[in-house]
Amino acid sequence: MARILGYIATSLDGFIADEHDNLGWLFKYDDMDLGEHDYRRFIKRIRTVVMGRGTYDWLANDPSPWAYGDQRVLVVTSRPIAGPKGELEIRSDIDALIAELRALDDGDVWMLGGGQLQMAFMERGALDEIEIYVIPELLGGGRPLFPATGHRASPKLVSAAAIDKGCVRLHYRFDRPDPA
């Protein structure tokens, strides 16, 4: 059974993008030494990447080449994607998607991008672990790490560590709900 993972960076004041959906503040830390937690190592163990439509649109508009040619990519959206930037599949039913992902046995699943889709998975007890990289920047506003939905949870801290450039890595595990 595939593990469903989050791997995301946030500003110290809890935003993943500024008020213009810009990540320039984060790109200043591209040369940060994450050691064994480096993105290049992380992505090698990922077989499936799941993202929402907003994240896909952001990536599709970025001039960089499509970075997920080695992974299965699923975009959660109710709208068709004309001329996709990379090879991908569309899903619209989150509950059916979770069942599909749980049936996979060929590697881990990464919830890429914003907190809205990650929150939808957390609300359903379907996010197994999350690594949050807290970057020492105050954005003063923008897109929050997680939307306020009223969902409450008490994940278990696996580890916390200060890493390069004043960044802190937080690793949490969520308990899976008992099947009914």
Domains and CATH numbers, the chain: 4-173 (3.40.430.10)
Mean pLDDT of the chain: 92
Dihedral sign, Cα of residue 100, residue 1, residue 47, residue 144: positive
Write 169-172 long-range contacts (CB < 8 A, 24+): 169/34, 169/37, 169/131, 169/132, 169/133, 169/134, 170/131, 170/132, 170/133, 170/134, 171/129, 171/130, 171/131, 171/132, 172/129, 172/130, 172/132
Q: What confidence score (pLDDT) does residue 179 get?
A: 56
Dihedral sign, Cα of residue 30, residue 32, residue 33, residue 38: negative
Q: What confidence score (pLDDT) does residue 1 get?
A: 84
Residue recorded with tokens 């899976």? 176
Q: What confidence score (pLDDT) does residue 91 get?
A: 97
Q: In this structure, are residues 56 and 90 in contact, taking their beta carbons and an 8 Å threshold?
A: no
| pLDDT value at 11 more than 60 | yes
**Tally of CB atoms within 10 A around 100:** 15
The alpha helices in 2-160, defined as continuous H runs, are 24-27, 39-44, 53-61, 94-102, 115-123
Indicate the pairing of strand 72-76 with strand 46-52. Answer: parallel
**Beta-carbon-side half-sphere exposure of residue 19 (alpha carbons within 13 Å):** 4
Burial-class residue 54 by CB neighbours within 10 Å (0-12, 13-18, 19+): middle
pTM, whole model, 2 decimals?
0.91
pLDDT in tens, 109-151: 999 988 889 999 999 999 999 999 999 999 999 999 999 999 9
